Amino acid sequence: MELPNAQALSSHKSYYHTGKQTCPVCQKELPSAKALSSHKSYYHTGKQTCLDCQKELPSVKALSSHKSYYHTGKKNCSGCQKTLPNAQTLSYHKRKAHTGKQTCSDCQKEWPNAHALSDHKRKAHTGKQICPDCQRELLNAKALSSHKSYYHTGKQTCPVCQKEWPNAQALSDHKKKAHTGKQTCPDCQKELPNANALSSHKYRHHRKRKIDD
């Protein structure tokens, strides 16, 4: 490097070519006086106050890290495109939601990571969906999931009267019609306030009779 005069050369050498320097505050070894000066101004400047939240930090370095973590503005998650208020909440979200294997909420298929799941959902569960069991067209993957859990669950048994129904939808309709409001015992005609009371009544008063029969 060319310097304009001897004085400039002397200053340059004393700043950049002094050999290793040890920080008197933390004992860290730096390669030159210049590096030591930069280190001290970054790590050992005394307490700093964040202008965004008034939090007090021990150094310029700590303040810089704090601001880049908490006051960077909204961040989008690359795994699910969710918008988080700052880098800190994004980091927490990614640890909770996108670490290790992920299960698709629409079809329960497992994927090795969040990116694979996101790609799968974009390809398989965007727009209208066709039910593989009855070929009915549903508005989206969520609607398909609800439809399948309601209509294609297999046979269901009523917990009140033990009658069997072909699916959850049929069972739900049956319970609304047969077991809502006051119920009359078919064995003794006693009126009970609801289906649960009827079920308990039948168990206590008519179970032995049926066993004996």
The Cα 33–Cα 36 span in angstroms is: 5
| Residue whose token pair is 């999931």 | 145
The Cα 152–Cα 134 span in angstroms is: 9
- pTM value is 0.31
Maximal CA-CA distance, the chain: 119
In whole angstroms, how far apart are CA 134 and each of 72, 141, 147, 150, 165?
50, 15, 10, 13, 18
Helices 141-151 & 168-178 angle (0-180, nearest 10): 60
Neighbours of 20 (CB within 10 A): 11
Closest CA to 123 of 138, 134, 107: 107
What is the pLDDT at residue 42? 73
The Cα 86–Cα 93 span in angstroms is: 11
Mind listing the pLDDT tens digit for each residue in 110-129? 888 777 887 888 777 778 88
Mind listing the pLDDT tens digit for each residue in 65-107? 878 777 777 888 887 788 888 877 888 888 777 777 888 887 8
Mind listing the pLDDT tens digit for each residue in 1-58? 565 666 665 566 666 666 788 887 778 888 877 788 777 777 777 788 888 778 888 7
Question: What is the rounded average pLDDT of the residues 178-206?
Answer: 84
The Cα 187–Cα 190 span in angstroms is: 8
For the chain, domains (ranges, CATH) are 102-151 (3.30.160), 156-212 (3.30.160)
User: Could you tell me which residue, 137 or 8, shows the higher pLDDT?
Assistant: 137
Mind listing the pLDDT tens digit for each residue in 140-185? 877 888 888 888 888 889 887 888 988 888 888 888 777 777 888 8
What is the pLDDT at residue 212? 55
